[in-house]
Amino acid sequence: MTEYTDIQYTVKNGAATIAINRPDKYNAFRGQTCEEMIHALNRAGWDKSIGVIVLTGTGTKAFCTGGDQSAHDGGYDGRGLIGLPVEELQGLIREVPKPVIARVNGYAIGGGNVLVTCCDLAIAADTAIFGQVGPKVGSVDPGFGTALLARVAGEKKAREIWFLCRRYSAAQALEMGLVNTVVPADQLDAEVERWCDEIMALSPTAIAIAKRSFNADSDSIRGIGAMGMQALSLYYGTDESQEGVKAFMEKRKPKFRG
Ligand code: 2NE
């Protein structure tokens, strides 16, 4: 894979930036997007000249809004149990031996919020908005989306995020520990660059060892996620789940009960 259609891949001063480039879909990912992100993460992850990876979305509206609901018909349009190899993508963010920074430039919703959760660090524009929508749209991202979020934001807050599907400001995300810092939107790139430059001045091997040891404590969540995806694939076959997707696409409230 040398040409990408759904993402942009750029390198500057040892930092590789992977940007989802589907602004008309609020940077939602389809099967092809996940494949390209996996390819780009492997490309940057094992390139010794790269010391840090930045994950972001193009435009100012969205970082990423999760699975592309227009590519969902009882399952998404790609590979794997649910038609999106998200568990592989999330696992790879943790697996690459260098820090992955989420540059959150807008909505980080659903699977987009999970990407932020999985990244080692997160820097948000003050205009960014966070949240989960699964129970509103007939989905759930089990594993890193739930159990790792509880480690990051705390058990009660993670359950609130999933059980109420509210939206949270960048300031609230900072307070709950989901992001490391918040800056005015017009200073986002300069701030990300500053963090990348600081990382590039440090020992890559020490950082790789530190990352793996941080991961060790929560690696069992990968297994929970695998089991969860198996359950999710069955849930996607139900009327209840499909009502959620249909309601989102028809811009109406879902009717899950009765
Ligand atoms: C992002 C948010 C909150 C924005 O709301 P609002 O009211 O400001 O805008 P609107 O009209 O909802 O969205 C603007 C345009 O972006 C598209 C919309 O369809 C709309 O298109 P047009 O009508 O202008 O043509 N859009 C936004 N998000 C999209 C998406 N994910 N797929 C396709 N089109 C999308 C609001 O739009 C929102 O809540 N979006 C998220 C919807 C969602 O259901 N995400 C997937 C959750 S499940 C998931 O991610 C997942 C996973 O993480 C792991 C495994 C399986 C699934």
Distance, CA of 62 to chain centre = 12
Query: Once rounded to an integer, what is the mean pLDDT over residues 196-213?
Result: 98
- The residue whose CA has the least distance to atom 36 of ligand 1 is 65
pLDDT over 70 percentage in the chain: 99
Query: Once rounded to an integer, what is the mean pLDDT over residues 251-257?
Result: 97
Atom of ligand 1 nearest to the CA of 67: 50
Pocket test for ligand 1, best of 20, 32, 109 (most atoms within 8 A of CB): 109
**DSSP string for residues in the chain:** ----SSEEEEEETTEEEEEE--GGGTT-B-HHHHHHHHHHHHHHHT-TT--EEEEEESSSSEEE-SB-GGG-SSS-SSSSTTSS-HHHHHHHHHHSSS-EEEEE-SEEETHHHHHHHHSSEEEEETT-EEE--HHHHT----SIIIIIHHHHH-HHHHHHHHHH---EEHHHHHHTTS-SEEE-GGGHHHHHHHHHHHHHTS-HHHHHHHHHHHHHTTTTHHHHHHHHHHHHHHHTTSHHHHHHHHHHHTTS------
CATH number of 7-186: 3.90.226.10
- The residue whose CA has the least distance to atom 44 of ligand 1 is 137
pLDDT exceeds cutoff 80 at 2: no
Contact between 42 and 51 under an 8 Å Cβ cutoff? The reply is no
Domain positions in the chain: 7-186
Measured in angstroms, how far is the CA atom of residue 25 from the centroid of ligand 1? 7
Q: Token match 């524009």: residue?
A: 125
Contact between 87 and 229 under an 8 Å Cβ cutoff? The reply is yes
Measured in angstroms, how far is the CA atom of residue 28 from the centroid of ligand 1? 7
| pLDDT in the model for residue 1 | 65
Measured in angstroms, how far is the CA atom of residue 166 from the centroid of ligand 1? 14
pLDDT band at 258 (very low <50, low <70, confident <90, very high): confident
pLDDT band at 238 (very low <50, low <70, confident <90, very high): very high
Measured in angstroms, how far is the CA atom of residue 98 from the centroid of ligand 1? 30
Q: Which CA distances in Å does 116 have to 79, 183, 194, 230?
A: 22, 16, 19, 23
Query: Once rounded to an integer, what is the mean pLDDT over residues 175-203?
Result: 98
Measured in angstroms, how far is the CA atom of residue 79 from the centroid of ligand 1? 21
Please give the model's pTM, rounded to 2 decimal places.
0.98
Measured in angstroms, how far is the CA atom of residue 26 from the centroid of ligand 1? 7
Measured in angstroms, how far is the CA atom of residue 69 from the centroid of ligand 1? 7
> pLDDT per residue over 99-134, tens digit each?
999 999 999 999 999 999 999 999 999 999 999 999
Q: Give residue ranges with CB within 6 A of ligand 1.
A: 25-26, 28, 65-70, 82, 84, 86, 107, 109-111, 114, 133-134, 137, 139, 141, 248
Query: Once rounded to an integer, what is the mean pLDDT over residues 11-39?
Result: 98
- The residue whose CA has the least distance to atom 53 of ligand 1 is 111
Query: Once rounded to an integer, what is the mean pLDDT over residues 73-90?
Result: 95
